[in-house]
Structure formats: C-alpha cells, structure tokens
Structure 1
Amino acid sequence: MAKQIVKLDDAPLNKFHYKMTALTFGGHFTDGYVLGMIGIALTLLTPQLDLSPFWVGLIGSSALIGIFLGSLILGRVSDLIGRQKVFALNFLIIILASILQFFADSAIELVVLRILIGFGLGGDYSVGHTMLAEILPRRHRGPILGSFSVIWTIGFVLATVVGYSLLQVGPEAWRWMLSSAALPGLIIFIMRIGTPESPRWLVNQGRVDEARQIVRKHIGQSIILDDETPVETKGNFADLFSKKMRKRTAFNCIFYLCIVLPYFAIYTFLPTILGIMGINGNFGADLLLYVMLVIGSLLGILFTIKLSTRAFLNGAFIFLSVSLLLLSLLPSGSSILMITIFIAFTLIMSAVCNLTASIPPESFPTSHRSSGVGLATSFSRIGSAAGTFLLPISISNFGIQHSMLALTGVLIIGTIVSLAWAPETKSLSLDHASDTTNDQESSTKINTSGGA
C-alpha cells in the first residue's frame, strides 16, 4: 500500500519537532533568567556601587538594549546566510559575557557586558521563533510558539528564587547571581550543535534538493514541502516598509512594544513598586505575583487554543488598560483591593505575552520572516529598555501614580492599534504570508478556510 503524501504544514508532530522546540525553549528560559536576575542583583549593586537612579535604570535596561540590536542585526543576517548558523553560535556570546560579569568592577562594565548578552539573546528571538515556525505543522504552531512565554516566565521566576537564595552569600553575591546564566547557556550551546537548516529558507534560496533531504530525514519520508518554487529575490530589508507589508510591520512592532514595555518596567522593579504602593514588600508578596506570572502563561496556552487571535489580543489589551488604570488611581492604603487587581493584571499580562511569540512569525513571508520578527522584537525591546531605564527616574521625580498612568497610556495605544489592525493568524499556512497584500485580506482568507 502506497504511503500517504503529506505536506510539511500538515505533518504529524515527531521527535524532531519536540527536539527543536526544546532547544528553542532553552533560549527563552535563559532570556527570562537573565532578565529576572537583574532585579535582585540591583538590590546589592545599588548600595555597593553607589548607583544613582540613572545607573540603576541603565543597568536594568542594558540587556534589553542588546536584544534590540541583536534582533535587528542577527535577524537580517539569518535571512541572508541561514537560520542554523545564528541559532547555533549566538550562545557563545551569552556564555562569555555572563562569565565576565563575575569580574566586573564598575557600572559601565556591567552595562557593556549585559548589552552583549542581550545581543545574543536578540538573535535567538528572531531566529529561534522563525526557525521553529518554519518546521512546525500549522495546527500546533500557535500553542507551541505561545508556550515560549511559559518557559520564559519559569526562567524569570527561577532567577528570582535563586537570587534570593544567594543573598546570604553576602554583598558580593550579585557576581554569582549574574554569572550563573552561563550554566544554562553552555548546556543549550552544546545541544544545538549539529541542528539542520530550515527547509523553507533553503527553498527560498533555490536549494530545493537540500530542503527535501532535511524534511525526509527529520520529519518523514512521506512528507513533502508545501511549496518548492524558490522566489527570485532574497528580499530587501526595506521591503518590510513597502505598501504590501508596511501595515503588518507597523502592527507587529506596536502591539509587541505595548505589551512588553509595561511588563518589563513593572516586573523588573516589582519589589520597589510594591513597597511604594503600600503592598507588603517582602518576598512573600513578590513570590505570589511571580507565581501568577507562571500560571498566567499557562492560561495563555489555553486562550491561544480556544480563542481567535484577535479576540484574545483585543480582550487582553482592554482588560490590562482598565486594571492598570485602577491600580494607578487607588489610594495606597487599599492593600487587599490592590493586590487582587495586581494578581488579575499579572495573570492576563503573562497570558497575552504568548501572542508575542506566535503572531510575528506568522505575519511575514519566508524571505523576510526573520527580518520581520527581528524588527518587531527589536522595536519592542528598545521601547522596553526605555521604559525600564526611565521608570526609576520617573518614580523619583513624579511619583508612582503618574508613572503607572504613563504605562496605562502605553496599553491604551496598544488597544487602539490592536482593534484597528490585528490580523487573524490562527492556523495560518506560512505560505499565505507572502500572498496577502494587507492584513485584512489575510484575516478574510483565514476565517473562511476553517482553521482549527
């Protein structure tokens, strides 16, 4: 009996899919760990190095600045030379810079090293999302890509737990905290050696035979490529701003920014914010909200499966805008009400972060996918870096209420853009990304195709 021929987009999940998912998850775990640890380390760094609010903000945001640069530069590089090279080698930068943090003696040294760490992580965002999206079957793409948020949050929360545990080492404990990121980085680097190239990227380069060999070897003998017709151009970065793609480019940059800017600004300095707002500032209150981040990311997987992309994104933006506005206006003595709203805000904020991993890779054609994802990631991270840098200065000069109102304004902008431009990407075939001339046409095609 002849084997049934199945397209790559409809292939069943196998060990290769799980392996690539785990390797990509490793990058997100490390990112969460790196960004989660700095908040605890700063409690020791600030008095030891006599840091001003300027330097506290700059050190807190430096990895995000690096992610901006890495996403933008390495995303474009991977569209030109391939996903695999960046996917395998970017962790060398992360490992070396993490180790060197142990020997840092000044704020500027830490800023430079954390920018380098962020540079490597930025490449992982643009390449990891892209590479995995290009091999996953459409039915599972959204939930698996959305699961990145769960792993990122686990890394973020684990860093907090490890950081508090290391406080007993003494005032120099921050060196062990920051350099500990080298350990997961080394494990991931070793495991990524020998990973194959993305077959979709190979087809886009006209290397169809190589793509077929990878698909047959790793996904199945009866699996065929969705489209074996190579494009005539590798695509220019400027194409992202062409009439055909500028709306999807703008949407991905803005919605991504409006989610992660408040996230990083609030949760990087969570202990400080809780104390100023009159909520119990010990580790118990912090830990409760960090646990809610993990639960919320798991909730986000369920929402991704059960809801349409537009319904999930639009509803989350509206809820977050209202709840943060309430937190901004409530008097500091309303501890029980504040923590209740903060818990709900944390759950939904963490849940909707899942969409930052699934929407961008499904929005761009193969020739521009890594560049598009990299641009959206870099745009979000430079905004997050600005927010994280400015928040301590804003709180110092204008108070917590005005600072929270400013972050509420960011969420309101995200709500407006999402309501106007958000596409429906659920169960989208990646080939459609190059066929649609605008996001509304894409939504129409998908909604009438009966996607899961």
Structure 2
Amino acid sequence: MELQATKPVNPVEDAKWSPFHLKLTIYSSGGPFLDGYILSIVAVALTQLTPQLHLDAVWSGLIGASALIGIFIGGLLGYVTDRFGRQLMYTIDFILLIVASILQFFVHAAWELFVLRVVLGIAVGADYPIATSLLTEFAPRKHRGLMLGMTVIAWYVGATVAYLVGQWLLPIGPDAWRYMLASSAVPGIALVILRLGTPESPRWLLQQGRAREALKVLREIYGPGASLRHIAVPDEKRARTSYLTLFNRTYWKRTLYVSGFFTAAVAPLFAMLTFGPTLLDDYHVLSGSSGYGSAIISALFIAGCVPALWLLNRLGRRATMIASFAVMTVGMLLLGLFPKGPLWVIGLGFLLYALFSGGPNIMEWLAPNELFPTEVRGTAVGVTTCISRLGAVAGTYLLPWALARYGVGPTMLVGALVTFGGFLICVFLAPETRGLTLNAASVGEDAEAERVPGSPERRIRVGR
C-alpha cells in the first residue's frame, strides 16, 4: 500500500502538473472569461444606451438577458462536440464571437443589439461543453478540481475587467457604450491565436475507434509509459452519444442534481451582475461610480472561489455544496430583509453571498464533467447549462421589472428562496466524487480501487 501511495499507477490520472496542463487551463478559461466580460459589460453600457435607444423595462430586460438566451441555444451544441470532436469546435466558436462583437459597434436599434447578443451567447454557450470537456479529459484527478475551478475564476475575472473597462470608457462620451460592447473582440482574437494547435482529446479519439491517434496524443503528453488501458472504459459500461442517455436509469438523478443546483446558483447571480449598477443605486451604495462597486462585488466572487478550490478537495464536493448554499441563503435574506440598511448589513449580505458562492460556481462545470462519461460529457455540460440558463434568463429579464414594481427588498427575498432550493437539492441529491478517476466518477467503476490515497472510501452514490 505504501508503494502504491507514492508511485503513480496510472500515468494519465496520476500525472504531475505540467506546462501543457497550465496552457490548456488558460486557453480553456478563455470562454468563461469572455462570458463574464460579455454579460457584465452590458451592465455599464445599459446606463448609456437605454436613453439613446429609448429602451423601456421590457427591452432593457431583453437586452440584459439576450446573451443568456444565446447561451441556452449554444449549450445544445454540446451534442455536436461529442459527435465531431472537441478540437474542431474549439476555435470556430470564437470566430463567430469576434464578428458579433465588432458588429455591436454599428447597431442603431434595440432589436439589432438583441440579435447580436443572442449570437454572442450562442458562441459562448457552445464553448462551455467544448472547452470544459477537453480540459477535463486531460486533467489528472488530483488537479481536476483546480483546473476546472480556474475556468470559473476566469469568469469572474472577465466580469471584473468588464466593469472596470466600462467605467473607464464612460468619459469618452455618449457613444462610449459602442466601444464597451465591441471591446470583447480583443480578447477573442487573442484566444483564437492561442488555441491553434491544441490536441484532440485522446478519450474522445478512443471512443471514436481512432486508437492509434489516441495513443499518439497520450504519449506526446504523458510520456512513453502511457497506454490506452489507462483511459479505456469497458464496452459494457459505455454510453451512446444521445440526449436520452442523460435521463436514463443511471444518469437521471445526476442530470437533475446538476441542472437543479446550477439553476439555483445562476438565476440570482446573473441578475445581480447584469444589473449590478442598478442594484447598487437602489441600495444607495457608490451611486455614480457603480461600475467600480460592481467590480468590487465581482472581485468578492473571485475571492470566494479560491478557498472553494481547497475545500472541494479537502472536505469533499457534497459537504462544500451544502454549506455554501446554506450561507448564500443567509446573505440573500439579509439583502431582502434590510433593503434600507444599515450599510454594514447590506455589505455583509453581499459578502456572504459572494464569498460562499465559490463552491457552487466551481461545481457548475466540475460536476457535469465528472458525473458523465466521455460519450455524453459535452452533451451533459450543454444540456445542464441550457436548463440553468432558463432560470438565469428569467431572473435577468424579470429583475428590472421586479425592482420597479416591488422594490429591492421583496426581489432579494425571492432570490433567497431560489438559493434555498439549491440547498435542498444538494442535501438530497449531491454525490461525492472526490479522489475518483474520471472513469470511476462518470461510469461507475469500482471506486475503492480507483480512489487516490487518503480520500474517502465510500463509493460514489447520489444522496446519502
């Protein structure tokens, strides 16, 4: 046992952190970075374009939610990446994003901006299953949480940068919003160039029967000791690339769990980030400089992800998720019960919600990539993302209407109720996958034999 704990038995799953893993993590984080940027830059832009394009509450909500609608559509392309490969779509989707970003500069009507931002959302939504599946299938088990977690941190970095860029561009003049919206093309171009030459997933190649190509990639990345048996899944445990697989007897609870907590986490979150400046004005916090205030809130979300990366590996996925949703609910309750202050209570509410959202935020992409096999991994990421974005669209579209009709307090109480729903879903459905190889977590191999030394001994299961 001592020899087994010190000497890697699987050169793929027990591989050391390498420059390749670092580069792939950075490149794969590009989609989440741009998602955070695109969804957040519009929050500052709306302060200018609302009077210029004569937006009422309906159009304001539609434009705020437009990228989320696109992400819902783009997420359905996860099936495409399972059928035709991760690498092919890895770059194509960003080309679409660059073109749509630039065209936003030239819009003159609300519907034009709405259509372009739906297209942007499609590109970003397609990248979720593409990039996270590729990253997961190269990630060693000890570093899987870290690598997927970095993509989530990239989302909040993108959001923070967007708020700062928006605030800095405001002095340009009344057309500054055009530069804000078109600016997402800059990181998009950089990421297309960086992603060139990224190898295809050997797990996907093997699943397609392209064993020789899979072995070549494995040995280029992990050395001559790597072989196909280190990633192979027994034929009787394989799933077909089909949407129906996500709802069969084996996977339906996992699909319900991921899409449920995902929705409960992002519905209030995206609404808060998209209309961050409006919310801060309603709370009378940093009025006139709410772009900076939103950047501070977004930075708190980044801060929350850092300890969550450690907790997910130390305490486990399940315990971290339950505790996180419990504290997030308390934070939302404070914002709902004390809409007029005092200021320290409002600050505490934002602080609790932001800092403890790290666990659910990381698990949004870690969970579907761990819980579903290679054949449907991209499909699972895409479908659960789509379902979650229905909630996010509803929250983002309804927020300005709810603020105008009911005020900030009751609106935040609804957010607390949604967050509490996420807590209940985790209590009854959250599995534990800490320390498992990717095959053991997703296909159900013998977890006792596959766990990394020092991790919990119980087998993966849904609920208690």
TM-score norm. by structure 1 comes to 0.93
Amino acid at match of 1:49: L
Structure 2 residue 51 is matched with structure 1 residue 47: yes
1:121 deviation in Å? 0.6
Amino acid at match of 1:270: G
Structure 2 residue 13 is matched with structure 1 residue 9: yes
The equivalent position to 2:426 in structure 1, one of 418, 424, 429, is 418
User: 1:335–1:91: structure 2 CA closer, same or farther, 3 Å change rule?
Assistant: same
Amino acid at match of 1:86: M
Matches within 5 A, 1:44-443: 44-72=48-76, 74-225=77-228, 226-228=230-232, 231=235, 234-283=240-289, 285-436=293-444
C-alpha separation in 2, matches of 1:233 and 1:288: 44
Q: Is the contact made by 2:339 and 2:408 (CA closer than 8 Å) also made in structure 1?
A: no
Q: Structure 2: where are the runs of 5+ without partners?
A: 1-6
Amino acid at match of 1:385: V
Residues 269-291 of structure 1 deviation map (CA, whole Å, 9 limit, x = unaligned): 12211221343434354443233
Residues 239-286 of structure 1 deviation map (CA, whole Å, 9 limit, x = unaligned): 111111100011110111111111111121122112213434343544
Partner of 1:221, secondary structure, is coil
C-alpha separation in 2, matches of 1:257 and 1:141: 23
The equivalent position to 1:448 in structure 2, one of 449, 452, 457, is 457
Amino acid at match of 1:8: V
C-alpha separation in 2, matches of 1:93 and 1:427: 38
Q: Is the contact made by 1:253 and 1:380 (CA closer than 8 Å) also made in structure 2?
A: yes
C-alpha separation in 1, matches of 2:231 and 2:221: 18
C-alpha separation in 1, matches of 2:375 and 2:299: 39
After the TM superposition, which of the residue ranges 188-197 and 338-347 deviates more from structure 2?
338-347
Residues 185-234 of structure 1 deviation map (CA, whole Å, 9 limit, x = unaligned): 01111121222111001111121111000111123222223243574763
Partner of 2:374, secondary structure, is coil
C-alpha separation in 2, matches of 1:344 and 1:449: 31
Q: Is the contact made by 2:433 and 2:441 (CA closer than 8 Å) also made in structure 1?
A: no
1:435 deviation in Å? 3.4
Amino acid at match of 2:38: V
C-alpha separation in 2, matches of 1:38 and 1:420: 37
The equivalent position to 2:36 in structure 1, one of 32, 37, 40, is 32
List structure 1 segments (4+ residues) > 6 angstroms apart after TM superposition.
none
TM-score norm. by structure 2 comes to 0.90
After the TM superposition, which of the residue ranges 257-266 and 351-360 deviates more from structure 2?
351-360
C-alpha separation in 2, matches of 1:285 and 1:37: 13
Partner of 2:54, secondary structure, is coil
1:351 deviation in Å? 4.9
C-alpha separation in 2, matches of 1:197 and 1:139: 22
Amino acid at match of 1:137: P
C-alpha separation in 2, matches of 1:88 and 1:8: 25
Q: Structure 1: where are the runs of 5+ without partners?
A: none
Q: Is the contact made by 1:204 and 1:230 (CA closer than 8 Å) also made in structure 2?
A: no
Q: Is the contact made by 2:37 and 2:184 (CA closer than 8 Å) also made in structure 1?
A: yes
Amino acid at match of 2:48: L
C-alpha separation in 2, matches of 1:360 and 1:228: 20
C-alpha separation in 2, matches of 1:416 and 1:7: 38
C-alpha separation in 1, matches of 2:35 and 2:156: 9
1:336 deviation in Å? 2.2
User: 1:147–1:304: structure 2 CA closer, same or farther, 3 Å change rule?
Assistant: farther
Residues 101-149 of structure 1 deviation map (CA, whole Å, 9 limit, x = unaligned): 0111111111111111111111111111111000110010012211222
C-alpha separation in 2, matches of 1:21 and 1:286: 26
User: 1:207–1:173: structure 2 CA closer, same or farther, 3 Å change rule?
Assistant: same
Match of 2:4 in 1: none
How many residue pairs end up in the alignment? 443
Partner of 1:404, secondary structure, is helix
Amino acid at match of 1:324: M
**Identity within the alignment, %:** 38
